[in-house]
Amino acid sequence: MIHADDGILSQEQRLMRDSCRSFVDDVVTPFIRSNWQREWDMSPGERLPGSILEGAEAIGIRTLGVPEEFGGIDLDRETEVRTFALIAEEIARGDSGLADKLVQNWKVSIVIRQFAAKHLQEKWFPRLLEDPKFLLAHCLTEPRGASDRWLPYNVPEASMHTRAVLDGDHWVINGRKQFISNGFDASLYVVYANTDPSVGMLQGTSSFLVPRETPGLTVTKCNETMGCRFMNNGELVFEDCRVPADHLLVKSTALASAGQYFRAGKIIQAAKNLGVGVACFERTADYVQNYVQGGRILIKHQAVALRLADMATRIEAVRSLVERASKAVDEAHPDADILCNMAKVYASEEIMKVATHALELHGGNGAMLEFGIEKLFRDAAIFLHMDATVDVSRMKIIKNMFPATAGKYAGPET
Amino acid sequence: MKILVAVKRVADPNVKVRALADGSGVDLANVKMTMNPFDEIAVEEAVRLKEAGRANEIVVVSIGPEKSAETLRTALAMGADRGLLVRTEATVEPLAVAKILKAVAEAEKPDVIITGKQAIDDDANQTGQMLSALLGWGQGTFASKLVVGDKAIEVTREIDGGLQTVSLALPALVTADLRLNEPRYASLPNIMKAKKKPIDERTPADYGVAVEPRLTVVRVHEPATRKAGIKVGSVGELVERLRMEAGVL
Ligand SMILES: Cc1cc2nc3c(=O)[nH]c(=O)nc-3n(C[C@H](O)[C@H](O)[C@H](O)COP(=O)(O)OP(=O)(O)OC[C@H]3O[C@@H](n4cnc5c(N)ncnc54)[C@H](O)[C@@H]3O)c2cc1C
Ligand SMILES: Cc1cc2nc3c(=O)[nH]c(=O)nc-3n(C[C@H](O)[C@H](O)[C@H](O)COP(=O)(O)OP(=O)(O)OC[C@H]3O[C@@H](n4cnc5c(N)ncnc54)[C@H](O)[C@@H]3O)c2cc1C
């Protein structure tokens, strides 16, 4: 692909990206290419070999977002989200499930560093850094659905069903969370629960730090997903799950305060998508320059060349928007919310088209598991639904632009 | 012990480079650049010696344009302590490189100099040898193993037909071959830390070295494209064609 963006990156950003790219080229891609069956191993814990995570550990991509005072990486905060985007793209170019797994740690670390009491940061950040298998998860979605919360509809009946009640010096959590990235194998969870059913979710939702071993927390299953299969998405049940009062992160306004997490999350989401798109392009460009039909390599057929051009153009358009939106998030620009939702939804739809081209240009090979192109297609498809659906993301954009008129709560059917 | 490592910025070996249309050289515009792979091995070896407590300071030096600072930064992120950029936009031939490195060595007084056995751009395989001759130091080229003692260094060399082990009195020069080690990736935390490590800048003139080329490049052209192969129907036909067409039997 073209590297027109190089000039605006800092030297460190370029070096970090290059290091990550080498790791992906040398370790991740060869593993994915030669072990296509591993995705379908029905023991989720066994899917990704330890060596891949150890490699990720060695280049330090598991624990971005951890503050330097606790042993984390001293990324320049003014360009932190841009850096996240660069690294997430590179990892996802190798495998988007691996990227999901790792970026969740970065995103949740932002929440912890911002909201957890100092003594809890002192306790958990070192554990996160020490243990290469330590993962974090962020639990919002429930069986009742996530879209109302994304929009958000700020009326009591739209609130979460998971409840937390203060009992002496403990919070008692009851409810279920579903579709949680790293939910199956995380060691520490950030959990959102309703703490005031009389008000809307923006005033009545609180967030908590819940260690995996907490009695009353049960990980009930690993969701078998269509794509990103090297990240173990999970479901959790809370039955009188008691966490000490100091594990409360944000009282009442947790959803409103999670903005920094959500915004970085949308950018990272778009960037992972971009990585999948780049992989589609690279694989396809290589294929059409080697495979022959009609007496000549495919790229010499104009219909093929035009599709390839379309793939490259969409990828670069996504890249431009991701760059612009990540800059807006880093600078806390008033339009950051709008732009990061635009980047997320645009990336998901454009890269889906890129993946469709890749599938088509590979002919029958594109449909074969051992070829790995259909995997990119599945990985791209899942991005449509993660971190808000396409339609809900669009509604958020317009709600943000026209708050007085757009996206009002419809209310229960009468 | 102090180790000096020379690193060169070259076109990434994974990218296909093209000859310029006028045959004057290789088109490097917009080509991804990286540290010469053999120099990465040299840096890695120095870092391992430091980690093993055999060395206490690693200085990396690069001769080249401003962007070579990035190559030095990579070496710093791998574990070197400080960098020196001898900045020049000119094409510097091995002899001039060796002369500059000699001057750097006289100023820095390292116990060991490690270079790559060759740079993958011009494949000259001369700098290390010339440098050791200019310094009057012993040389262990094509190293696949180093054992560093207090007064001497044992170098296992990859030579035609096997391995040769030489013992060099310090100070000495070593050039790294492929199998010396597998270099690490610069980790993200170390890249951020390397930002704070110093890189000095000089020019060849500071060392009194003239870099004007002594060689003339006559023409750079791409290798001839190979003709497509053919499938033969039988062993008999294969033997026939090898004899009649290829003329090898
Ligand atoms: C791989 C994966 C990972 C995930 N990781 C996490 C995680 O780590 N943490 C977490 O909390 N959640 C996670 N989720 C959940 C994700 O955020 C939700 O699945 C997503 O937001 C959609 O919510 P839903 O599944 O409840 O769909 P619903 O909200 O039920 O939506 C169903 C359909 O209805 C449409 N719709 C809903 N409301 C409206 C409306 N008002 N107007 C018009 N159309 C509407 C939607 O656009 C969609 O088409 C993950 C999901 C996936 C697939
Ligand atoms: C599930 C499945 C079942 C199948 N079952 C059978 C079966 O039972 N029997 C059987 O014989 N085959 C079968 N096939 C093979 C199928 O017919 C071919 O895969 C399909 O026709 C595409 O051919 P190809 O794979 O060689 O792709 P290619 O022909 O290599 O096509 C690759 C890309 O190049 C494009 N292209 C090719 N030529 C040109 C051109 N001249 N100009 C412009 N673009 C061009 C194509 O549109 C495509 O985008 C099956 C395939 C699948 C996936």
The finding on whether A385 has its CB within 6 A of some atom of ligand 1 is yes
Q: CA geometry: angle at A410 spanning A405 and A413, to 5°?
A: 160
Over the stretch B181-224, which tens digit does the pLDDT of each residue have? 999 999 999 999 999 999 999 999 999 999 999 999 999 999 88
Residue B228, pLDDT > 80, answer: no
The finding on whether A139 has its CB within 6 A of some atom of ligand 1 is yes
Q: Model confidence at B231, in pLDDT bands (50, 70, 90)?
A: confident
| Domain ranges (residues) in chain A | 6-133, 137-256, 257-401
- Of the candidates A215, A193, A216, A217, which has an alpha carbon nearest to the alpha carbon of residue A206? A193
Looking at residue B248, its pLDDT comes to 84
Nearest CB among A15, A25, A73 relative to B186 is that of A15
Residue A29, pLDDT > 70, answer: yes
% of chain A surpassing 90 pLDDT: 93
Q: How close A96 comes to chain B (CA, Å)?
A: 20
* C-alpha A286 to ligand 2 mean position (Å): 18
Mean of the pLDDT values across residues A283-298? 95
Q: Model confidence at A18, in pLDDT bands (50, 70, 90)?
A: very high
B192 and A73 within 8 Å at the Cβ level: the answer is yes
- Of the candidates A138, A112, A107, which has an alpha carbon nearest to the alpha carbon of residue A125? A112
Assess contact for B115 and B6: CB atoms under 8 A.
yes
Helix (H, G, I), strand (E, B) or coil at A219: strand
Mean of the pLDDT values across residues A104-127? 96
What architecture is domain A137-256? Beta Barrel (2.40)
Residue A1, pLDDT > 70, answer: no
Question: A11 to chain B: nearest residue by CA?
Answer: B70
The finding on whether A241 has its CB within 6 A of some atom of ligand 1 is no
Q: How close A18 comes to chain B (CA, Å)?
A: 9
CB-based burial, A156-178: b 16+ in 10 Å, e otherwise: eebbbebbbeeeeeebbbbbbbb
- B182-186 — which CB contacts under 8 Å span 24+ positions? B182/B44, B183/B40, B183/B41, B183/B43, B183/B44, B183/B78, B184/A58, B184/B44, B184/B47, B184/B78, B185/A19, B185/A22, B185/A23, B185/A58, B185/A59, B186/A15, B186/A19, B186/A59, B186/B74, B186/B77, B186/B78
* C-alpha B46 to ligand 2 mean position (Å): 54
User: Which ligand 1 atom is the nearest neighbour of the CA of A391?
Assistant: 47
Give, for B188, the enclosing helix (H) or strand (E).
helix B188-194
Reduced 3-state DSSP string for A281-344: HHHHHHHHCCCEECCEEHHHCHHHHHHHHHHHHHHHHHHHHHHHHHHHHHCCCCCHHHHHHHHH
ipTM at complex level: 0.90
* Nearest protein Cα to ligand 2, atom 41: A294
Mean of the pLDDT values across residues A10-15? 92
Tell whether A67 lies on the interface with B, counting CB pairs under 8 A.
no
Tokens of A362: 């590979």
Topology of the domain covering A257-401: Butyryl-CoA Dehydrogenase, subunit A; domain 3 (1.20.140)
Beta bridge partners of B27: B18
Looking at residue B244, its pLDDT comes to 87
CATH of A6-133, one of 1.10.540.10, 3.40.50.300, 3.40.1170.60, 3.40.250.10: 1.10.540.10
Mean of the pLDDT values across residues A377-383? 97
Q: Model confidence at B166, in pLDDT bands (50, 70, 90)?
A: very high
**What amino acid occupies position A252?**
S
Interface test with B, best of A19, A24, A54, A80 (most B CBs within 10 A): A19
Looking at residue A261, its pLDDT comes to 87
Structural domains in chain B plus CATH codes: 2-218 (3.40.50.620)
Looking at residue A2, its pLDDT comes to 64
Over the stretch B28-65, which tens digit does the pLDDT of each residue have? 888 889 999 999 999 999 999 999 999 999 999 999 99
Residue ranges of alpha helices (H) inside B54-145 are: 68-78, 94-108, 127-135
Over the stretch B109-163, which tens digit does the pLDDT of each residue have? 999 999 999 999 989 999 999 999 999 999 999 999 999 998 999 999 999 999 9
Over the stretch A167-199, which tens digit does the pLDDT of each residue have? 999 999 999 999 999 999 999 999 999 999 999
The structure's pTM equals: 0.92
CB-based burial, A41-74: b 16+ in 10 Å, e otherwise: eeebeebbeeebbebbbebbbbbbbbbeebebbe
Q: What are phi and psi of A176, to 5 degrees?
A: -130, 150
Tell whether A3 lies on the interface with B, counting CB pairs under 8 A.
yes
* Nearest protein Cα to ligand 2, atom 20: A364
Using N-to-C axis directions, what is the helix angle for B127-135 and B94-108, rounded to 10°? 50
Q: How close B99 comes to chain A (CA, Å)?
A: 30
Looking at residue A4, its pLDDT comes to 54
* C-alpha A146 to ligand 1 mean position (Å): 5
Looking at residue A277, its pLDDT comes to 98
Q: What are phi and psi of A49, to 5 degrees?
A: -65, 150
Residue A199 burial (CB < 10 Å; 0-12/13-18/19+)? middle
